[in-house]
Copies of this chain bind each other. A is one copy, B any other.
Amino acid sequence: MTQLENLNQYFTENRERHLDEMKAFLAIPSISSLSEHKDDMYKAANHLSDLLTAAGMENATIHDTAGHPVVTADWLHAEGAPTVLVYGHYDVQPVDPVELWDSMPFEPEIRDNIMYARGSSDDKGQVFMHVKVLEAMLASDEKLPVNVKVIFEGEEEIGSVHLDQFIADHKDYLKADVVLISDTSLYAPGKPAVVYSLRGLTGIQIDVRTAKGDLHSGMYGGGVHNSIHVLADILASFHDENGHIAVEGFYDNVLPISDDERAAYAELGFDAEQMKEEAGVKTLFGEEGFSYLEQTWARPTLEINGVFGGFSGEGVKTVLPAQAGAKITCRLVPNQDPHEIVALLRAHVAKHQPEGVDIEITEFDKGKPFIAPFDHPYVQAAGHSYETQYDQKTAFIRSGGSIPIVSTFDEILAAPVIMMGFALSTENFHAPNEHFHLENFDKGLRVVSDYLTEIASIEKI
């Protein structure tokens, strides 16, 4: 038998025990946002630490933070081989409204080979899967093909509040050649997906003031500035008629979408009708010259999230509003820098600021975009490993959203981050009846085993 055949047999023989252990882990109500569960967070961290030690991992440690604890462990005896840092989170979302659950959220239950419990797919089930891969490898071979470090946090669902600092403080310990995360979804049932890029985020609030107070539109109308007119001109100036952002320099550092990526997205068979139905829109609309997937994954945006000014009650009030404002956020793509983009936005607004009108800019938080090199061997290897278990070609996709912690790993550790998920987007994350298809747990064990084995043979970069 090959090493992978051995592992396969191990997973099959130990499946019942593994699922029982998964249930025990899921039964701990590790809801990070509710203070009454503070002790449960430690309970879950301890439980996870014990699982790691039982798997054969070394130095399992529970680190206190100003919030919930971080769990780390390692196995570093694969001399000369790459080091993989596995990240995941053991905290879960609240369960309300609990009456909509068919079985209790913290009494895990398997029905039709599907595990029902809060955290089953997001992300305790996938964290557990990684631990079991390590256990299987260490049990059947007494070693791992690569060096492995794990870092599991308890604050992902509340914004990873203390993890940036933790990573910075433990930079040397966490050093790795690749970061592996299973907290995303397959592209579709049976269709695996590597997420290799995320958009960043930044934003500003624009507050326009034209007078000390609102003015009577009969007396002054036509002879003084109207704050909403000034604001509307600024807001309209942000895009041209083709959906292109008209802020000077905005696209300067945008990494072009490679031909390979374009071809890969086109192959995914994007269904516009289904997307319109899902979003509740009559038409799709975006930057000319790019497909919907390119627009939402690989192109930056400038979106007005809110606008306010003057009278918004019922009926009419003939007022010249003295103040108006808007909130704007930009999704950024590699290699845009949030600070640079905010500077460009400021310059753009200043260019459209009429004489005698006050404009105040407030900056929002900044998160950098992330991309792993599309053709990096560690990225491509993830696709191959998926394909050993799934019948379909791996989709290499981006995500239009922002997960700031990924950029932190990328930046502080300077290692490519590979997002290989095994959930399905339909598995009710954050909602009642969260579940995890155990078919993907079973395949995930084998895919991750294959991946660790495969990258052991890739020359370190």
Cα separation A329 to B400 with both chains bound (whole Å): 40
Cα separation A327 to B311 with both chains bound (whole Å): 8
Contacts of A275 in B (CB 8 A): 223
Indicate which residue in B304, B317, B356 contacts A232 across the interface (CB closer than 8 Å): B304
Nearest 9 A-B pairs (CB), nearest first?
A: A212-B280, A283-B356, A218-B401, A236-B236, A306-B310, A232-B235, A282-B356, A306-B311, A228-B304
User: Which residue of chain B is the closest to A235 with respect to CB atoms?
Assistant: B232
Cα separation A236 to B310 with both chains bound (whole Å): 16
B215 touches A279 (CB 8 A): yes
Question: In A211-228, which residues have CB < 8 Å from any B CB?
Answer: 211-213, 215-226, 228
Contacts of A300 in B (CB 8 A): 222
B222 touches A307 (CB 8 A): no
Binary contact readout A190-218 vs B (1 if CB under 8 angstroms, 0 otherwise): 00000000010101000000111101111
B307 touches A221 (CB 8 A): no
Query: A331 at the A/B interface (Cβ < 8 Å)?
Result: yes
A-B residue pairs in contact (CB < 8 Å), sample of 20 = A212-B279, A215-B279, A218-B401, A220-B279, A220-B296, A221-B303, A223-B284, A223-B286, A224-B285, A224-B286, A226-B304, A231-B307, A232-B307, A280-B322, A305-B316, A305-B321, A306-B309, A308-B308, A308-B312, A318-B329
A235-B232, A327-B311 given; A225·B296 CB < 8 A: no
A401 touches B225 (CB 8 A): no
Question: In A345-373, which residues have CB < 8 Å from any B CB?
Answer: 354-358, 364-365
Interface size on A, residues (CB 8 A): 80
| Copies of this protein in the complex | 2
A329 touches B316 (CB 8 A): yes
| Whole-angstrom distance between the Cβ of A114 and the nearest chain B Cβ | 25
B301 touches A321 (CB 8 A): no
Query: A287 at the A/B interface (Cβ < 8 Å)?
Result: yes
A306-B321, A307-B324 given; A401·B216 CB < 8 A: yes
| Whole-angstrom distance between the Cβ of A267 and the nearest chain B Cβ | 18
Cα separation A397 to B233 with both chains bound (whole Å): 33
User: Which residue of chain B is the closest to A233 with respect to CB atoms?
Assistant: B236
Indicate which residue in B213, B303, B327, B365 contacts A320 across the interface (CB closer than 8 Å): B303
A222-B331, A235-B236, A280-B211 given; A217·B295 CB < 8 A: no
User: Which residue of chain B is the closest to A221 with respect to CB atoms?
Assistant: B301
